[in-house]
Amino acid sequence: MTLYNPEHTKKYYNEYADKETERWNTSIVEQVKLYIHNHYLKKHIAPGDKVLELGAGTGIFTEPLSEVSGTLVVTDLSPVQLEINRSRAHKLGYSDQVDSWELADICDLSQFEEESFDKIVCYGGPLSYVFDKRDEALSEIRRVLRPNGTALLSVMNLWGTVDQVLEPILQTVSEDDNSKIIASGNLHPSSHAVSDHHCHLFRAESLRETFQNNAFEIITLSASNCLATKRADALEVLEQDPEKWQHFLNLEIQACVSPGMVESGTHMIAVIKRTESTS
């Protein structure tokens, strides 16, 4: 019996609505996470690329993607999120850069032909919501990628999330439930019945194995945040000096890819390349 429940995920994000946009503005640390994500978009997406965005949400990454890609197809499981994405694009004036908006489940991309995209962007954690269906999702991503195509994904990270919300975890989650979550990585009724946010929290080792088992070469594995974590007050002061702020962001990029730091953020960002063989 699978843990993945697309109807639950759809309902959760239909109700979450525009909070998906707002959460990136809740603190300067979230803004640093956004910067790190966008750093890899700018590095790996080229003007002529045909790009498929999976789990696009309300469009926080659709906007910068529209600036750097060629053809852009935007998808999400939630019709509410997708409509907000479309409305946001029209409001901010980049709707002409989007070829289409389509409802899609990352485990079933059958509306798209094989090898039809140069790049795929799957930011915000969609792979974390499919639980034991991750191989199916990556198989579909691989199928619609062109040979040597590149995918950019971010997933929820176990230890970085525990670090960021340790106090609420200790105060509200029983020791038994917490042990189940840590052991399985699953925030799910099977381990913690109170939570309505069902997702899998990855460890770096299991994420690497998942990509390798599905015929992807890892180009980059990065934390979403590292030096920035729990330094909001200091960062707000530092941001007032543009040169020092840029220097900090450059250090953050370097720190996040350090092998000892890739699990330090709430998310891990992966840039992966389709390999020639699935054997």
Per-residue pLDDT reduced to its tens digit, 95-126: 999 999 999 999 999 999 999 999 999 999 99
Residue 22, helix vs strand vs coil: helix
Residue 182, number of CB atoms within 10 A of its CB: 15
Q: By C-alpha distance, which of 61, 38, 65, 37 is closest to 50?
A: 65
Q: What's the sign of the alpha-carbon dihedral 92, 145, 6, 268?
A: negative
Alpha helices (H) in the chain, listed in sequence order:
6-16, 19-22, 28-44, 62-68, 79-92, 126-129, 134-144, 158-164, 166-172, 175-184, 204-213, 232-238, 242-256
pLDDT of residue 190: 84
Cα(130)–Cα(181) distance, integer angstroms: 16
What is the pTM (predicted TM-score) of this model? 0.96
Residue 130 has pLDDT above 80, yes or no: yes
- Structural domains for the chain: 6-273 (3.40.50.150)
**What amino acid occupies position 9?**
T
Average pLDDT over residues 4-9: 96
pLDDT at 277: 64
